[in-house]
Protein backbone atom coordinates (compact mmCIF):
# COMPACT_ATOMS: atom_id res chain seq x y z
CA UNK A 1 0.00 0.00 0.00
CA UNK A 2 1.54 3.27 -1.11
CA UNK A 3 -1.20 5.77 -0.39
CA UNK A 4 -1.10 7.75 2.85
CA UNK A 5 -4.00 7.20 5.23
CA UNK A 6 -6.34 9.87 6.59
CA UNK A 7 -9.05 9.64 9.23
CA UNK A 8 -11.77 12.27 8.87
CA UNK A 9 -14.39 12.44 11.62
CA UNK A 10 -17.93 13.60 10.95
CA UNK A 11 -17.44 12.98 7.24
CA UNK A 12 -20.88 11.99 6.00
CA UNK A 13 -22.12 15.54 5.42
CA UNK A 14 -21.11 19.17 5.21
CA UNK A 15 -17.52 20.21 5.78
CA UNK A 16 -16.39 16.72 6.68
CA UNK A 17 -17.77 15.25 3.49
CA UNK A 18 -16.03 17.88 1.37
CA UNK A 19 -12.76 17.10 3.17
CA UNK A 20 -13.17 13.35 2.66
CA UNK A 21 -13.95 13.86 -1.02
CA UNK A 22 -10.88 16.03 -1.48
CA UNK A 23 -8.53 13.71 0.38
CA UNK A 24 -9.82 10.60 -1.39
CA UNK A 25 -7.96 11.76 -4.51
CA UNK A 26 -4.64 11.04 -2.82
CA UNK A 27 -5.30 9.17 0.43
CA UNK A 28 -6.96 6.09 1.76
CA UNK A 29 -9.74 7.71 3.80
CA UNK A 30 -11.47 6.38 6.88
CA UNK A 31 -14.60 8.53 7.11
CA UNK A 32 -16.58 8.41 10.33
CA UNK A 33 -20.30 8.94 10.70
CA UNK A 34 -22.72 8.86 13.58
CA UNK A 35 -26.39 9.03 12.57
CA UNK A 36 -26.72 9.09 8.78
CA UNK A 37 -25.85 5.70 7.32
CA UNK A 38 -27.34 6.67 3.94
CA UNK A 39 -25.04 9.68 3.66
CA UNK A 40 -22.04 7.59 4.67
CA UNK A 41 -22.88 4.92 2.11
CA UNK A 42 -23.18 7.48 -0.67
CA UNK A 43 -19.80 8.94 0.30
CA UNK A 44 -18.22 5.50 0.12
CA UNK A 45 -19.84 4.79 -3.25
CA UNK A 46 -18.66 8.09 -4.72
CA UNK A 47 -15.12 8.21 -3.33
CA UNK A 48 -14.03 4.76 -2.26
CA UNK A 49 -13.64 5.97 1.33
CA UNK A 50 -13.99 3.37 4.06
CA UNK A 51 -16.76 4.39 6.44
CA UNK A 52 -16.83 3.69 10.16
CA UNK A 53 -19.61 4.47 12.61
CA UNK A 54 -18.19 6.44 15.51
CA UNK A 55 -19.52 8.80 18.17
CA UNK A 56 -16.42 10.81 19.09
CA UNK A 57 -17.85 11.55 22.52
CA UNK A 58 -17.52 7.84 23.34
CA UNK A 59 -14.18 6.57 24.56
CA UNK A 60 -14.88 3.04 23.35
CA UNK A 61 -15.83 4.35 19.90
CA UNK A 62 -12.62 6.39 19.69
CA UNK A 63 -10.51 3.38 20.59
CA UNK A 64 -12.38 1.20 18.11
CA UNK A 65 -11.75 3.74 15.33
CA UNK A 66 -8.01 3.79 15.89
CA UNK A 67 -7.87 -0.01 16.22
CA UNK A 68 -9.85 -0.41 13.00
CA UNK A 69 -7.54 1.94 11.11
CA UNK A 70 -4.43 0.19 12.43
CA UNK A 71 -5.76 -3.25 11.50
CA UNK A 72 -7.03 -2.16 8.08
CA UNK A 73 -4.18 0.05 6.92
CA UNK A 74 -1.33 -0.23 9.41
CA UNK A 75 -0.53 3.49 9.31
CA UNK A 76 -2.03 6.91 10.01
CA UNK A 77 -0.68 9.95 8.22
CA UNK A 78 -3.42 12.51 8.84
CA UNK A 79 -6.16 12.97 11.41
CA UNK A 80 -8.85 15.54 10.68
CA UNK A 81 -10.92 16.29 13.79
CA UNK A 82 -14.02 17.61 12.08
CA UNK A 83 -16.94 16.01 13.94
CA UNK A 84 -18.94 18.50 15.98
CA UNK A 85 -22.42 19.71 16.70
CA UNK A 86 -24.41 22.84 17.42
CA UNK A 87 -26.82 23.03 20.35
CA UNK A 88 -30.02 21.11 19.69
CA UNK A 89 -31.87 24.28 20.70
CA UNK A 90 -30.46 27.81 20.81
CA UNK A 91 -31.11 29.29 24.24
CA UNK A 92 -30.10 32.54 25.87
CA UNK A 93 -27.13 32.20 28.19
CA UNK A 94 -29.40 32.68 31.21
CA UNK A 95 -31.67 29.83 30.11
CA UNK A 96 -29.15 27.32 28.71
CA UNK A 97 -29.06 23.86 30.28
CA UNK A 98 -26.27 21.80 31.77
CA UNK A 99 -27.36 18.87 29.62
CA UNK A 100 -26.71 20.84 26.44
CA UNK A 101 -23.38 22.09 27.82
CA UNK A 102 -22.26 18.57 28.68
CA UNK A 103 -23.26 17.22 25.28
CA UNK A 104 -21.37 19.88 23.34
CA UNK A 105 -18.26 19.68 25.48
CA UNK A 106 -18.21 15.89 25.09
CA UNK A 107 -18.61 16.00 21.31
CA UNK A 108 -16.79 19.18 20.32
CA UNK A 109 -13.94 19.23 22.83
CA UNK A 110 -13.41 16.07 24.86
CA UNK A 111 -13.92 13.78 21.87
CA UNK A 112 -11.37 15.33 19.51
CA UNK A 113 -8.93 16.00 22.35
CA UNK A 114 -8.75 12.37 23.39
CA UNK A 115 -9.01 10.98 19.86
CA UNK A 116 -5.94 13.07 19.12
CA UNK A 117 -4.21 11.56 22.13
CA UNK A 118 -4.71 8.09 20.67
CA UNK A 119 -3.65 9.14 17.19
CA UNK A 120 -0.65 11.07 18.49
CA UNK A 121 0.72 8.06 20.36
CA UNK A 122 0.59 6.09 17.13
CA UNK A 123 2.16 8.91 15.11
CA UNK A 124 4.97 9.18 17.66
CA UNK A 125 5.68 5.48 17.04
CA UNK A 126 5.79 6.23 13.30
CA UNK A 127 7.88 9.36 13.74
CA UNK A 128 5.60 11.46 11.53
CA UNK A 129 2.03 12.61 10.99
CA UNK A 130 -0.23 15.60 10.69
CA UNK A 131 -3.27 16.56 12.76
CA UNK A 132 -5.96 19.10 11.92
CA UNK A 133 -8.68 20.42 14.19
CA UNK A 134 -11.65 22.09 12.51
CA UNK A 135 -12.52 24.92 14.88
CA UNK A 136 -14.76 27.93 14.43
CA UNK A 137 -14.84 31.70 14.59
CA UNK A 138 -17.02 31.01 17.63
CA UNK A 139 -13.78 30.38 19.52
CA UNK A 140 -13.54 34.17 19.90
CA UNK A 141 -16.95 35.45 18.77
CA UNK A 142 -19.54 35.57 21.56
CA UNK A 143 -22.99 34.28 20.61
CA UNK A 144 -25.06 34.48 23.77
CA UNK A 145 -27.75 32.17 22.41
CA UNK A 146 -25.28 29.26 21.98
CA UNK A 147 -22.70 29.85 24.63
CA UNK A 148 -21.90 26.19 25.08
CA UNK A 149 -20.83 25.98 21.43
CA UNK A 150 -18.53 28.99 21.80
CA UNK A 151 -16.94 27.56 24.93
CA UNK A 152 -16.35 24.18 23.30
CA UNK A 153 -14.61 25.79 20.31
CA UNK A 154 -12.52 28.10 22.48
CA UNK A 155 -11.30 25.06 24.41
CA UNK A 156 -10.55 23.26 21.16
CA UNK A 157 -8.18 26.06 20.16
CA UNK A 158 -6.13 25.46 23.29
CA UNK A 159 -6.06 21.75 22.54
CA UNK A 160 -4.46 22.63 19.20
CA UNK A 161 -1.79 24.73 20.89
CA UNK A 162 -1.05 22.05 23.47
CA UNK A 163 -0.67 19.25 20.95
CA UNK A 164 1.34 21.41 18.57
CA UNK A 165 3.81 22.16 21.36
CA UNK A 166 3.96 18.59 22.63
CA UNK A 167 4.36 16.88 19.26
CA UNK A 168 6.63 19.26 17.34
CA UNK A 169 9.76 17.45 18.46
CA UNK A 170 8.40 14.21 17.05
CA UNK A 171 7.95 15.58 13.55
CA UNK A 172 4.17 15.84 13.91
CA UNK A 173 2.47 19.06 12.83
CA UNK A 174 -0.81 20.25 14.34
CA UNK A 175 -3.09 22.92 12.89
CA UNK A 176 -6.42 24.59 13.48
CA UNK A 177 -8.58 25.48 10.51
CA UNK A 178 -11.07 28.07 11.70
CA UNK A 179 -14.11 28.29 9.41
CA UNK A 180 -16.32 31.31 9.29
CA UNK A 181 -19.89 31.23 8.05
CA UNK A 182 -20.02 28.11 5.90
CA UNK A 183 -23.05 26.88 4.00
CA UNK A 184 -23.90 23.58 5.72
CA UNK A 185 -26.84 21.91 7.42
CA UNK A 186 -25.70 23.43 10.71
CA UNK A 187 -26.69 26.94 9.66
CA UNK A 188 -29.70 26.05 7.49
CA UNK A 189 -32.19 27.65 9.87
CA UNK A 190 -30.37 30.99 9.84
CA UNK A 191 -28.83 30.88 6.36
CA UNK A 192 -31.08 33.62 4.97
CA UNK A 193 -30.23 35.93 7.85
CA UNK A 194 -26.52 35.36 7.30
CA UNK A 195 -26.86 36.00 3.57
CA UNK A 196 -28.53 39.32 4.29
CA UNK A 197 -25.85 40.32 6.78
CA UNK A 198 -23.07 39.34 4.39
CA UNK A 199 -24.68 41.42 1.64
CA UNK A 200 -24.76 44.27 4.14
CA UNK A 201 -21.01 44.13 4.75
CA UNK A 202 -20.52 41.60 7.55
CA UNK A 203 -17.63 40.02 5.63
CA UNK A 204 -14.91 41.78 3.63
CA UNK A 205 -15.30 39.04 1.00
CA UNK A 206 -19.00 39.29 0.36
CA UNK A 207 -19.97 35.69 -0.02
CA UNK A 208 -20.77 32.84 2.28
CA UNK A 209 -18.12 30.18 2.57
CA UNK A 210 -18.57 26.75 1.03
CA UNK A 211 -17.44 23.42 2.41
CA UNK A 212 -14.89 23.13 -0.39
CA UNK A 213 -13.13 26.24 0.95
CA UNK A 214 -12.27 24.28 4.10
CA UNK A 215 -11.31 21.23 2.07
CA UNK A 216 -8.82 23.32 0.10
CA UNK A 217 -7.11 24.42 3.32
CA UNK A 218 -6.93 20.79 4.42
CA UNK A 219 -5.35 19.95 1.08
CA UNK A 220 -2.53 22.43 1.64
CA UNK A 221 -1.73 20.85 5.00
CA UNK A 222 -2.09 17.28 3.73
CA UNK A 223 0.36 18.01 0.91
CA UNK A 224 2.97 19.25 3.39
CA UNK A 225 2.93 22.83 2.17
CA UNK A 226 2.70 24.20 5.74
CA UNK A 227 5.00 21.80 7.54
CA UNK A 228 7.07 24.61 9.04
CA UNK A 229 4.00 26.29 10.51
CA UNK A 230 2.85 23.95 13.25
CA UNK A 231 0.34 25.42 15.69
CA UNK A 232 -1.01 27.91 13.18
CA UNK A 233 -4.65 28.95 13.05
CA UNK A 234 -5.77 29.15 9.45
CA UNK A 235 -8.76 31.45 9.13
CA UNK A 236 -11.09 30.42 6.31
CA UNK A 237 -13.69 33.08 7.00
CA UNK A 238 -13.89 35.59 4.19
CA UNK A 239 -11.91 38.08 6.26
CA UNK A 240 -14.27 38.02 9.28
CA UNK A 241 -11.29 38.06 11.66
CA UNK A 242 -10.03 41.39 10.31
CA UNK A 243 -10.56 44.54 12.34
CA UNK A 244 -11.03 47.89 10.71
CA UNK A 245 -12.04 51.45 11.60
User: Do residues 28 and 69 make contact, with C-beta atoms less than 8 angstroms apart?
Assistant: no
Q: How far apart are CA 210 and CA 47, in angstroms?
A: 19
Query: Sheet of 233-236: strands edge to edge?
Result: 50-53, 28-33, 5-8, 78-81, 129-134, 172-179, 233-236
Indicate which residue of 149, 163, 194, 228 is catalytic. 149
Q: How far apart are CA 217 and CA 18, in angstroms?
A: 11
User: Do residues 48 and 243 make contact, with C-beta atoms less than 8 angstroms apart?
Assistant: no
149 is an active site residue: yes
Q: How far apart are CA 90 and CA 146, in angstroms?
A: 6
Q: How far is CA 10 from CA 35, 82, 203, in A?
A: 10, 6, 27
User: Do residues 30 and 3 make contact, with C-beta atoms less than 8 angstroms apart?
Assistant: no
Query: Angle formed by the axes of helices 111-126 and 59-73, to 10°?
Result: 30
Catalytic residues: 149
Amino acid sequence: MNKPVAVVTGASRGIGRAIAEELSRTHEVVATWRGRRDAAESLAANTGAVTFQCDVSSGSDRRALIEFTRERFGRLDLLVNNAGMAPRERRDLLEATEASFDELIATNLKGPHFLTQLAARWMVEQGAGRIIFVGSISAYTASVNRGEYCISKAGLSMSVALYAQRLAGHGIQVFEIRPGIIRTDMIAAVEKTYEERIAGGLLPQRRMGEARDIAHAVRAIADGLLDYSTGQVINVDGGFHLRSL
